[in-house]
Structure 1
Amino acid sequence: MVVGLGNPGPRYARTRHNAGQRVVEQLAARLSATRFASRYAGQFAEARGPRGPLGLLVPITYMNDSGASVGPAAGTLHATPAQVLVVHDDIDLPFGKVRGKAGGGQGGHNGLRSIAQGLGGPGFLRVRLGVGRPGPGFRGDEADWVLCPFDEPEEQVDALLARGLEMTEAVLADGMDAAIARFHARPPGERARARAERRAQAGAADTGNPADSHPSDPSDSHPAREHPQEPS
């Protein structure tokens, strides 16, 4: 089962907190899923995933009560926590970053905390959509921030959602470990810079000279490129 987190209603539809919901709605269209219908205190659809039948769930509880939707759905579908993939916004990631995770802490995300309670543990899978933290000019706290619409250009928001969709599909097709290996890989130029910095730091330790943090071969630097338990 794939779960897209958000808050119900048009007021929240374009906010940062609803990024996960938007990705799952796009996934439903991509997989030609059945029409979403009211079920499990949410909107539920069925599709054929890369490895078999797949449930798609958008809770219509408010974010902080997401577990009241996810728990009953998982129980009816006989899905273990490791077969539940949750797509959600994450302020701990810079805007535009997408990362996967299996289990672990919820990082202060109340929706994830509620799901852990509803599933009886935190062992579910996650696709994290980076929305970043508020800058110094923002008036309000982090809770206000995620309930505001994106202020980045629309094409950048679309790129974030597309990257999230691509990683979600990769998890469904190949599993979380393979998706992480693909999406988290450091690009060649970044690896070269890291190697050069380590060599410079090692040389400085040997000679007592300050480390030169610049790459030894600038021509090896390339723009970063991110490629976009099986959920049931």
Structure 2
Amino acid sequence: MKLIIGLGNPGKAYEDTRHNIGFKVVDYLASQWNAPLTQSKFKGMYSISHRPEGKVMLLKPLTYMNLSGETVSALMDYYGIELKDIIVIYDDLDLPAGQLRLRQKGSAGGHNGIKSLIQHLGTQEFNRLRIGISRPPAGMKVPDYVLQRFSKEEIPEVADAIKKSAAACETWLFKPYLEVMNQFNGT
């Protein structure tokens, strides 16, 4: 089984914030696949789809960003999912809004959700799909910025990034991740 993980924070207050773009991609896939996240286990909401490429789990950890690794590692252990079969989708301050960057490993780069995953998985080597949210304007603190909603000007490029991210995830179901990286990086 493959596991597509979108990082974010639960609750209406965080629903459309920059930090929740990973959730938005998983929600988009769930809608496209008619696979609502109705199952709950280990503080996460998920669904399992039987796709032509095999079984795929869509997951939104509900532990808040800083503890995402708890849910992911528990579900991976429970279902016997290997590291090579996961992809984590999350926001990135260092990329322009809407730009994608796919990697197979790396540090947390200051992202607390990824820090938690690295801690609980015991490795930095797992597939990632980062979506740019740009840097905050001068004088604004990063926590305030990531918990803010996208501007009207950014919404079209963010919507496009969500669709491209979903397409990258779907491509990964039948192609090696390196090929997916070559196809979608920088789009």
TM-score (norm 2): 0.91
Structure 1 distance, partners of 2:52, 2:88, is 17
Q: Residue by residue, what CA displacement relative to the aligned partner does 1:150-173 show, whole Å, maximum 9, x if unpaired?
A: 114332221121122122222223
Matched, 1:22 2:24: yes
- Calculate percent identity across the aligned residue pairs: 34
Counterpart CA distance in 2 for 1:34 and 1:25 is 8
**8 Å contact from structure 1 (residues 18, 89) kept in 2:** yes
Question: Which of these two proteins has the greater Rg computed from alpha carbons?
Answer: 1
Q: Amino acid of the residue matched to residue 115 of structure 1? A: L
| Structure 1 Cα separation of the partners of residues 91 and 52 of structure 2 | 24
Secondary structure in 1 matching 2:66: helix
Does structure 2 retain, via aligned residues, the 8 Å contact 1:22–1:161?
yes
5+ residue gaps, structure 1, are 186-225, 227-232
Where relative contact order (Cα < 8 A, 6+ residues apart) is larger, the structure is 2
The amino acid that maps onto 1:82 is K
Paired residue for 1:147? 147
Shift of 1:84: 1.3
Match in the other structure for 2:166: 165
Deviation at 1:178, TM superposition (A): 0.7
Give the 3 Å change call, closer, same or farther, for CA 97–172 of structure 1 in structure 2: same
Give the structure 2 partner of residue 105 of structure 1. Answer: 107
Contact kept, 8 Å, 1:34 with 1:47, in 2: the verdict is no
Deviation string, structure 1 residues 64-122 (Cα, Å, up to 9, x no partner): 00011111001011112221111111111111101211111111100011011121212
Q: Structure 2 CA distance, aligned partners of 1:41 and 1:121?
A: 22
1:80 equivalent in alignment to 2:71: no
Gaps of 5+ in 2: none
- Where in structure 2 are the equivalents of 1:110-149 lying within 5 Å? 110-136=112-138, 139-149=139-149
- Whether contact under 8 Å (1:45, 1:56) holds in the other structure is yes
Higher strand share: 2
RMSD of the TM alignment (CA)?
1.6
CA distance in 2, matches of 1:48, 1:85: 18
Letter in 2 for 1:109: H
Indicate which of 34, 37, 44 corresponds to 1:32: 34
Distance 1:35 1:62, change over 3 A: closer
Whichever residue aligns with residue 167 of structure 1, its letter is A
Separation in 2 of the partners of 1:35 and 1:161?
A: 18
SS of residue in 2 equivalent to 1:144 = helix
Amino acid at match of 1:150: F
User: The residue matched to 1:44 in structure 2 has which SS?
Assistant: strand
User: Using a 3 Å threshold, how does the CA distance of structure 1 residues 166 and 108 change in structure 2: closer, same or farther?
Assistant: same
SS at match of 1:66: helix
Deviation at 1:184, TM superposition (A): 2.9
Aligned partners of 2:88 and 2:128 also within 8 Å: yes
TM-score by length of 1: 0.75
Query: 2:176 maps to what in 1?
Result: 175
Aligned partner of residue 173 in structure 1, secondary structure: coil
The ranges of structure 1 where at least 4 consecutive aligned residues each deviate by more than 3 angstroms after the TM superposition are none
